[in-house]
Structure 1
């Protein structure tokens, strides 16, 4: 069941979204060589507690997970891309780190993810991160009333194709609002002009994620962490957005974040 939100409800989601953006910005700032993943988890946990927010991950127990999730943030390193279980791992120079966070404030949720490189970055790692960022922005751009859900999926897939990256369709975006996961599912691959018609009040978490050379995934023994099947490095970008009468509203945009420009896109694809 899809629930359209009122402008007042979207603003309440925006409150949660701003906080999610703040935490992810702080985690990205703290992620450095020699920092342990558990330190980042505990820092995020403290920020959530101080704000009086509620983690959407704590005690989360979907069918694909192994027992309830007992952390407040997903931290995935290198070939890990989704649902990374924070554990005793110290970040090294050149590691690729994805942080994914969803919280609720006063009964409304927001969800976002970003990938950063720790220390010195390899060009190929920056390239796949840029691909997910551009794919996300391409989907946001077409998230307008009258367009279809398939237009979002097609936009994500088109960017992945331009970069030459395969696309997995087992996990993708989703509706969000009173809970972290609502209808509809938003695949990262689809056909334009198909699917649900977008209407003002629809709120979605769009999340393109890519592995460099495979669309297959494997699970760690922890039952949560998802990795590329061939060990190739990965990236993941996600924002919670709202469809409005005018332009799409990004509820989790970080203060210093700027969407990739067309000129940057051309340069990156040429590399």
Structure 2
């Protein structure tokens, strides 16, 4: 049976300073990978790195604004030099701003488009350039893009966020096709996480209640759980385990896929 052993591989996790990203980094490290945390939050990112090191992992922090092409170039070069290669990129960085469409804030919408879609596209770009034959790492690898169950359901208050996560689905599939056609040796997949009680998930529950969509944040969370056949919210390790699977050799013939990790909510 093929294992999930990632020993000898290096992973860059964007938005890895906290929440889902930190959990994914921890799971990848537990499977044996060296970890680079890429984030604009230097204090949080360094704290996550120190936590990983305390558990025996090889880990580094790189400053990374995912919307900045040159920042990506510098970050990837730094990871390859300091950790000896690049085999895995997890495009997790993202933001969510809750609005009713009738009150849509153009600046907030543009920011979500930049971080969630452009940031993911640039992550794929620089993963390909580093991992393809002749690249700085040059051994192929795996990319996992973090979409959302919001890409598959119509949940009020998150129209633009949902659109960005639907866009990540399309980016994933086109990137997988290009990588295969051009012989890059890089698999590209995505996961659709459920609502998870991280800082972002809790913020969404509060804000949808403030918009009058639910009587309270607790009612919002309960409504999500009731829409989920498995009857609960997602947990960070649910999402992290799925990422480890997709980057491992157990998924070596899987590319261009979107894996729901949502307890059945989006089916």
The TM-score normalised by the length of structure 2 is: 0.32
More strand, by proportion? 1
More helix, by proportion? 2
Tell me which of the two structures has the higher relative contact order, counting C-alpha pairs closer than 8 angstroms and 6 or more residues apart.
Answer: 1
